[in-house]
Amino acid sequence: MTRVLLLGGTAEARALAKLLHPGVPIVSSLAGRVPDPALPLGPVRIGGFGGVEGLRRWLHDERIGAVIDATHPFAATITAHAAQVCADLGIPHLVLSRPAWDPGAAIVATSDIEAAEIVQQQGFSRVFLTTGRSATAAFVDSNAWFLIRAVTAPDEPTLPRRHQLVLSRGPYRVEDELALLREHRIDALVTKNSGGDMTRAKLDAAAALDISVVMVSRPQLPHGVRAVPSVADAADWVACLGPR
């Protein structure tokens, strides 16, 4: 059967690997930014590819016949690289993209920088920031106090002057999120539109407490890529692949 590269690191990627293993020769790839990551079933490689040319060489050397991108919706760089290389090489390519959250009454921002500007403009004073370790730099000069939740600690120079750091990973429960928001007297939640159930509880808790939400919208997928919303859809796509 076709050898498949699964760009992973998400719950959906692990679920797909479990569904396909051992019948499909699949190699999962993790970026390596998270210590002690949850590993999928089957062979795993950890670390970057070295840009577009590195990914091109790796796919050739490993005789990969198809690529499934099941990375985080905001992992725009690897998504763009995979789309470009697969198009160049004529390799079947699929993006497994979990459905986005409905922003509802949230204030939608197009970037972390715009989200920081909104926090300043709205005069929010105690912010629950859940945009990930790489996004805290946009808030460095903010006057607000931040409760920052991330899987791994951001670099010290990228942290706002006034903050408290909480290191944890989902899934989270609504009752725990309610307690957290109340304890820290949060008046705004800043989050990325990651979608999925693992971290949705913060949105439900914010809605229950009438707390404002600033939501960073997702980057657009590269032009022309095929995307499916579910693990089952991705498995069906693999089942239709011919030998390469």
58-89 residue pLDDT tens: 999 999 999 999 999 999 999 999 999 999 99
Architecture of the domain delimited by 107-216: 3-Layer(aba) Sandwich (3.40)
221-237 residue pLDDT tens: 999 999 999 999 999 99
Which pLDDT score, from 0 to 100, does residue 24 have?
A: 94
Does 107-216 match 4-98+220-239 at the fold level? Answer: yes
Both tokens of 4, joined, read 């498949």
Does the reported pTM lie above 0.75? Answer: yes
132-160 residue pLDDT tens: 988 999 999 999 999 999 999 988 889 99
Distance between CA atoms of residues 37 and 57, nearest Å? 26
169-202 residue pLDDT tens: 889 999 999 999 999 999 999 999 999 999 999 9
Question: With the C-alpha atoms ordered 184, 134, 44, 96, is the resulting torsion angle positive or negative?
Answer: positive
| b/e per residue 89-103 (b: at least 16 CB within 10 A) | eebbbbbbbbebbee
Which pLDDT score, from 0 to 100, does residue 36 have?
A: 81
Residue 71: closest CA among 17, 10, 15: 10
Q: Where are the domains of the chain?
A: 4-98+220-239, 107-216
12-41 residue pLDDT tens: 999 999 999 999 999 999 998 877 888 999
Q: Which fold has domain 4-98+220-239?
A: Rossmann fold (3.40.50)
At residue 51, does pLDDT exceed 70? yes
Sheet of strand 107-109, all strands in order from the earlier edge strand to the far edge: 107-109, 212-216, 188-192, 126-130, 145-150, 163-167
